[in-house]
């Protein structure tokens, strides 16, 4: 089989290899995609690491960017500093999952120089309600509590700003 594959024209081999990589990428992305990608956001309530009482109801009225991340996620470490400036102009709540106790998460944020509103989901209960299978995951929840956009993996600040703007128009 390997000998017959090598006998194929180079362009055809490259095309097959590219197709295989694209299919692998699609399979991985579909596995990572959360179980709740649209519709009503699950209700939640809790106390952030900063001591603020939060709930989905408390964010009604304008779009919310809900970012699910973990301390052990390398992509999250790249993305969180990009999220922080969005919190200056938009409603942002981050959800730390399986990252230890509150003090562990505080120490991580301090080491990274981040000041984000964080709800610690140490056991991953809210993440499970959201259908999270991998991190990072970003949800744009509109003013009525409906999930309008879901993004898995690394994304851009401009893309998130555009989605927040769009969700605010609905």
Convert the pLDDT of each residue in 125-159 to its tens digit: 889 888 888 899 999 999 999 999 988 888 899 99
pTM above 0.85, yes or no: no
- pLDDT confidence of residue 59: 93
Convert the pLDDT of each residue in 16-32 to its tens digit: 888 888 877 666 555 55
Question: Cα separations (Å) of 138 from 2, 22, 93, 114, 150?
Answer: 42, 23, 10, 18, 6
Strand 53-55 to 45-47 pairing: antiparallel
Residue 12, Cα to own-chain centre: how many angstroms?
37
- pLDDT confidence of residue 39: 87
Q: What is the mean pLDDT of the chain?
A: 88
Convert the pLDDT of each residue in 65-103 to its tens digit: 999 999 999 999 999 999 999 999 999 999 999 999 999
How many CA atoms does the CB half-sphere of 34 hold within 13 Å? 26
């Amino acid at each position: 089989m390997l000998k017959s594959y090598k006998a194929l024209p180079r362009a055809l081999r490259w095309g097959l290899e590219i197709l295989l990589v694209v299919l692998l990428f699609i399979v991985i992305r579909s596995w990572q995609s959360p179980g709740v990608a649209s519709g009503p956001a699950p209700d939640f309530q809790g106390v952030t690491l900063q001591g603020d009482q939060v709930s989905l109801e408390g964010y009604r009225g304008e779009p919310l960017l809900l970012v699910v991340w973990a301390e052990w996620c390398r992509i999250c470490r790249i993305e969180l500093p990009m999220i922080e400036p969005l919190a200056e102009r938009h409603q942002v709540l981050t959800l730390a999952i399986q990252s230890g106790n509150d003090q562990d998460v505080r120490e991580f944020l301090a080491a990274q120089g981040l000041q984000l509103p964080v709800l610690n989901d140490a056991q991953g209960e809210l993440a499970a309600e959201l259908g999270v299978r991998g991190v990072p995951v970003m949800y744009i929840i509109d003013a009525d509590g409906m999930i309008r956009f879901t993004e898995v993996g690394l994304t851009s600040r401009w893309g998130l700003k555009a989605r927040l703007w769009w969700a605010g128009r609905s």
